């Protein structure tokens, strides 16, 4: 699936709910199901410190594709991390760099999350793009 198709899939899943609490239940579920984070990667350079919660992101290159791991100490944020990884992990640096992440807005997360957390989301996306850029540079 392309990144675009994955985003559409996420939007569809969320569109089944019109109550906010149901959307957040889904996020919590996604957070709980996220693959566990490799403790060896829980390092300062992988940490994005938001105003209130912490996010860890670690990326590796595998056969030309970027595999991303993530974690957060807040479960709702972890759910958002899970969504981001589902959409972006397993793609090439170019695919990630060219991506327009429209699902965040469409699912309503950006607009409905508090400004501080919304910034955290922006920081996460920026970090993933930075990884992509670094891997691309290394590839030459």
Partner 1 sequence: MAFDIRKIRDDFPILHQDVNGKPLVYLDNAATTQKPLSVIDAEAGVYKTINSNIHRGVHHLSNVCTEAFEDVRKKTADFLNAGSSDEVIFTRGTTESVNLLSSSFGETFLGQGDEIILTEMEHHSNIVPWQLLAQRQGVVIKVVPVTDEGELDMQAFTELLNEKTRLVAVTHISNVLGTINPVKEMIVLAHAAGVPVMVDGAQAIHHVPVDVQKLDCDFYVFSGHKMYAPTGVGVLYGKRKWLEQMNPYQGGGEMIDKVSFSGTTFNDLPYKFEAGTPNYAGVIGLGAAIDYLKNLGTKAVWEYEHELFEYAVKQMREVPGIRFVGQAQNHTSVISFLLGDSHPFDVGTLLDKLGFALRTGHHCAQPLMDRFGIPGTVRASFAFYNTREETDSLVDALKRVAMMLG
∠ CA 75-81-84, nearest 5°, is: 150
| Window contacting partner 1 (CB under 8 A); options: 2-10, 22-30, 35-43, 121-129 | 22-30
Catalytic residue (choose from 1, 47, 51, 133): 51
Is 137 one of the annotated active-site residues of the chain? no
Owner of token pair 């508090």: 114
Q: Write each residue from 48 to 77 as x if it is in contact with partner 1 (CB under 8 A), else as -, in one continuous string.
A: ---xxx-------------------xxxxx
User: CA neighbours within 13 Å on the CB side: how many for 26?
Assistant: 16
Please give the size of the binding site for partner 1, defined by CB under 8 A. Answer: 16
Q: Provide Rg for the chain, Cα atoms.
A: 14
Q: Which helix (H) or strand (E) holds 26?
A: helix 20-33
| Window contacting partner 1 (CB under 8 A); options: 7-15, 19-27, 62-70, 95-103 | 19-27
Contact 73, 67 (CB under 8 A): no
Residues with catalytic roles: 51
Binding residues for partner 1 (CB under 8 A): 20-21, 24-25, 28, 51-53, 73-77, 113-114, 117
């Amino acid at each position: 699936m392309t990144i675009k198709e994955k985003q559409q899939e996420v939007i569809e899943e969320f569109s089944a709910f019109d109550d906010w609490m149901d959307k957040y239940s889904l996020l919590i579920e996604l957070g709980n199901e996220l693959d566990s984070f490799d403790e060896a990667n829980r390092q300062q350079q992988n940490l994005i410190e938001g105003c209130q919660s912490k996010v860890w992101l670690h990326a590796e290159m595998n056969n030309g594709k970027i595999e991303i791991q993530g974690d957060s100490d807040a479960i709702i944020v972890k759910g958002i991390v899970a969504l981001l990884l589902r959409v972006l992990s397993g793609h090439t640096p170019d695919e990630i760099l060219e991506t327009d992440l429209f699902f965040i807005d469409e699912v309503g997360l950006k607009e409905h999350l508090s400004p501080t957390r919304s910034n955290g989301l922006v920081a996460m996306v920026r970090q993933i793009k930075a990884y992509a850029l670094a891997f691309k540079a290394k590839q030459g």
